[in-house]
Structure 1
Amino acid sequence: MTGEVDLDARGLRCPLPVIELARLARDLPPGRTLVALADDPAAEADIPAWARMRGHTVTLERRGAHTAYVVVLG
């Protein structure tokens, strides 16, 4: 994974991490990768569910107190 972070949602609570990620993704082309950092436990269910509904793929990387969500837009 690259060092690029598109969204630092650490400290934001549900549903803000997924709302902000969806806002960023809205105007981007398929194939673009977004990296979001979040520490809200609800994001672990919310972000993959949102990605699935939109046809995106997502992988999670645990990094201590937060998780990096790597989303490839479909």
Structure 2
Amino acid sequence: MTEYEITEMLDVKGQNCPMPVVKTKQTIDQLAKGEILKVLATDPGSMSDIAGWAETTDGVELLDQDNGDDVFTHYVRRAE
């Protein structure tokens, strides 16, 4: 796993679809270009939900996802 210089961390543990994506979008919109958001979620669906959202959203890049034991970690960059 690559180490990223995290600008902001978002904890959406305990929240289910669509909240992890909604909160991720709200937070990433506040970041400057190039900044990285680390998202912590417990909803297994967040893996595909955040990946799909990032793929179809201009100005957002999904750098990595980590499927942990109980927590799913997502690294999203506000694109240049």
Identify the residue that residue 20 of structure 2 maps to in structure 1.
Answer: 17
Q: Does 1:65 align with 2:79?
A: no
Q: Does 1:29 align with 2:26?
A: no
- Structure 1 stretches lacking a partner, 5+ long: none
Q: Residues 12 and 40 of structure 2 are in contact (CA less than 8 Å); yes or no, is this contact kept in structure 1? A: yes
3-state SS of 1:6 partner: strand
Moved over 6 A (4+): none
Q: Please give the alpha-carbon distance, in whole angstroms, between the structure 2 residues aligned to 1:73 and 1:6.
A: 13
The structure in which a higher percent of residues are helix is 1
* Alignment size in residue pairs: 74
Q: Please give the alpha-carbon distance, in whole angstroms, between the structure 2 residues aligned to 1:65 and 1:27.
A: 28
- Structure 2 stretches lacking a partner, 5+ long: none
TM-score, normalised to structure 2's length?
Answer: 0.79
Q: Give the letter for the 1:63 counterpart.
A: G
Q: Please give the alpha-carbon distance, in whole angstroms, between the structure 2 residues aligned to 1:3 and 1:27.
A: 17
The 3 A distance-change label for structure 1 pair 64 and 3 is farther
Percent same amino acid among aligned pairs? 26
Identify the residue that residue 9 of structure 2 maps to in structure 1.
Answer: 6
Task: Say what the alpha-carbon RMSD is for the aligned residues.
Answer: 1.8
